[in-house]
């Protein structure tokens, strides 16, 4: 474990380091007691100054010391009037946004109110957070958004065409003539042609994903049932069930298991104007709040990429206006509701993490550039 020295970072790296602005950014920092309390204490309570740039919120200080538990999206949401403008405020180019580095506890973020920019302090030495505490940084780095929330959606979400699963390897029988397979059981699978692939996920055609605007089916969200590993080659091959989510039966299909993915793309507005609607919220009550997942009726073929930030609007209510002496039905304006972060893409469907929502996001809500 070594003490963090901000001099080790180049100016370019310091700019790229902030590409985590949406979300989990901190490494596994540890607090250690410092013997030298003579250095000045830096903290987020720095006196607030005027903001000629108009970029920052009224309560924005002159600097912020990054602490364990911070997120860059959280910092941006707290100090910037328009958090989705963070790449511009951090003066980052597109390559830096696409390939963000890391930022660590103990580093000092300077809020330059004169020029409307943010940057990391280039002051050397250990940053003192309290009179007797300093931060020491381990080597572990944290992905750009909470991996525990999106991991099942990264590895277990599959959108397919209507007949796409028909050509995939299929379970033709179960060892011991079992009707339902679970973890530890063996299945006989026909159609495995690549001997180099050993790990598979098991799916069954599932929910039709319909475009809320047109009613057309954009694809089918296949139901994830479990995972399996080839333990004996052949046709049929023997596959050991290694994970179990729902009952697995004869006829279910196998898809090669994807590699573990780490989402490091920093949040950014879409490059071109886009409009669409929420397909589903995957919530029993129909409303998705902060940290929940929603599906969108736009994907990579419509100009979205991983990290795209979108603003969600709730449709205005229809009311009967009687204030003019007669009853007249009118529709109130749409209201801005929150922001979502795209993390999983298919051609015309994507999945997004709700960053914030004032009223709760529901199917049919509109989204567009923030």
Q: Domain ends where: 142, 168, 203?
A: 142
57 CB-near residues (< 8 Å, 6+ apart): 78, 79, 80, 81
Q: What is the mean pLDDT of the segment spanning 106-131?
A: 69
pLDDT in tens, 216-248: 999 888 889 999 999 999 999 999 999 988 899
Three-class SS of residue 33?
A: strand
Environment class of 100 (CB within 10 Å of its CB; exposed 0-12, middle 13-18, buried 19+)? buried
- Give CA–CA dist 241/139, Å, rounded: 35
C-beta separation of 354 from 293 below 8 A: yes
268 in any annotated domain:
no
Bridge-based pairing of strands 30-33 and 158-160 is unpaired
Q: Could you report the per-residue pLDDT of 97-107, keeping only the tens digit for each? A: 555 556 677 78
366 contacts 313 by C-beta, under 8 angstroms: yes
**H-type alpha helices, the chain:** 11-16, 72-79, 86-89, 94-98, 147-156
Do 173 and 126 share a domain, yes or no? no
What CATH code is carried by the domain that includes residue 344? 2.40.10.410
With beta carbons less than 8 A apart as the criterion, state whether 219 and 296 touch.
Answer: no
Residue 108 clears pLDDT 80, i.e. is over it: yes
More confident residue, 59 or 155: 59
Q: Give rounded-to-5 percent helix, strand, coil for the chain.
A: 15, 35, 50
For residues 132 and 159, state if they share a domain.
no
Same domain? 23 vs 133: yes
Is residue 263 situated within a structural domain? no
Cβ(80)–Cβ(55) below 8 Å: yes
Whether 18 is in a domain gets the answer yes
Rounded-to-integer distance, Cα 205 and Cα 285, Å:
24
Same domain, 70 and 26: yes
Based on the fold, state whether residues 134 and 161 are members of the same structural domain.
no
The domain in which residue 192 lies consists of: 149-256
Which of 95, 121, 142 terminates a domain? The answer is 142
Contact between 294 and 280 (Cβ < 8 Å): yes
Burial of 207: CB neighbours in 10 Å, binned 0-12, 13-18, 19+:
middle
On whether both 237 and 319 belong to a single domain, the answer is no
Whether pTM exceeds 0.75: no
- Name which residue leads in pLDDT, 160 or 363: 363
Q: What is the separation, in whole angstroms, between the first and last Cα of the chain?
A: 41
Quick one: 21 and 132 in the same domain? yes
| Same domain flag for 291 and 358 | yes
Same domain, 136 and 192: no
Residue 146 pLDDT: 64
Last residue of a domain, one of 116, 142, 168: 142
Tell me whether residue 323 is exposed, middle or buried, using C-beta atoms within 10 angstroms of its C-beta: 0 to 12, 13 to 18, 19 or more. Answer: exposed
Same domain membership, residue 355 and residue 246: no
Mean pLDDT of the chain: 76
In a domain, 269, yes or no: no
**How many contiguous H segments (helices) and E segments (strands) does the chain have?**
5, 22
3-state secondary structure of 19: helix
| Same domain assignment for residues 137 and 13 | yes
Structural domains counted in the chain: 3
pLDDT tens, position by position, 155-166: 778 888 777 788
Give the model confidence (pLDDT) of 74-99 as tens digits.
777 788 888 777 777 877 666 665 55
Domain presence at residue 270: no
């Amino acid at each position: 474990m070594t003490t963090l020295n901000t001099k080790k970072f180049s100016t370019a790296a310091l700019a790229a380091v902030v590409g985590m602005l949406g979300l989990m950014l901190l490494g596994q920092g540890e607090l250690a007691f410092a013997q030298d309390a003579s250095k000045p204490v830096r903290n987020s309570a720095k006196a607030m100054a005027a903001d000629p740039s108009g970029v920052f919120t009224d309560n924005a200080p002159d600097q912020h010391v990054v602490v364990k538990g911070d997120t860059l999206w959280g910092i941006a949401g707290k100090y910037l009037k328009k958090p989705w403008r963070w790449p511009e405020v951090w003066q980052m180019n597109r390559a830096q946004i696409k390939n963000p580095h890391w930022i660590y506890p103990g580093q000092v973020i300077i809020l330059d109110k004169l020029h409307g920019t943010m940057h990391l302090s280039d002051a050397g030495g250990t940053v003192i957070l309290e009179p007797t505490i300093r931060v020491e940084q381990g080597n572990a780095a944290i992905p750009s958004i909470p991996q525990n929330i999106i991991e099942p959606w990264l590895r277990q979400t599959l959108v397919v065409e209507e007949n796409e699963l028909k050509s995939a390897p299929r379970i033709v029988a179960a060892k011991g003539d079992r009707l339902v397979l679970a973890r530890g059981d063996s299945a006989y699978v026909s159609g495995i042609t690549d001997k180099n692939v050993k790990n598979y996920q098991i799916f069954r055609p599932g929910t039709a994903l319909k475009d809320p605007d047109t009613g057309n089916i954009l694809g089918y969200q296949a139901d994830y049932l479990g995972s399996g590993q080839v333990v004996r080659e052949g046709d049929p091959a023997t596959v050991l069930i290694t994970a179990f989510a729902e009952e697995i039966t004869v006829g279910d299909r196998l898809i090669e298991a994807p590699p573990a993915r780490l989402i490091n793309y920093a949040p950014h507005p879409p490059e071109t104007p886009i409009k669409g609607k929420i397909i589903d919220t995957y919530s029993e009550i129909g409303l998705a709040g902060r940290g929940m997942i929603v599906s969108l009726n736009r994907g990579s073929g419509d100009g979205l990429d991983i990290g795209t930030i979108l603003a969600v609007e709730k449709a205005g209510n229809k009311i009967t206006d009687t204030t003019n002496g007669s009853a007249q039905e009118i529709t109130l304006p749409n209201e801005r509701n929150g922001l979502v972060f795209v993390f999983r893409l298919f051609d015309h469907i994507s999945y997004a993490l709700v960053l914030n929502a004032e009223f709760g996001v529901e199917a049919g809500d509109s989204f567009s550039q923030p």
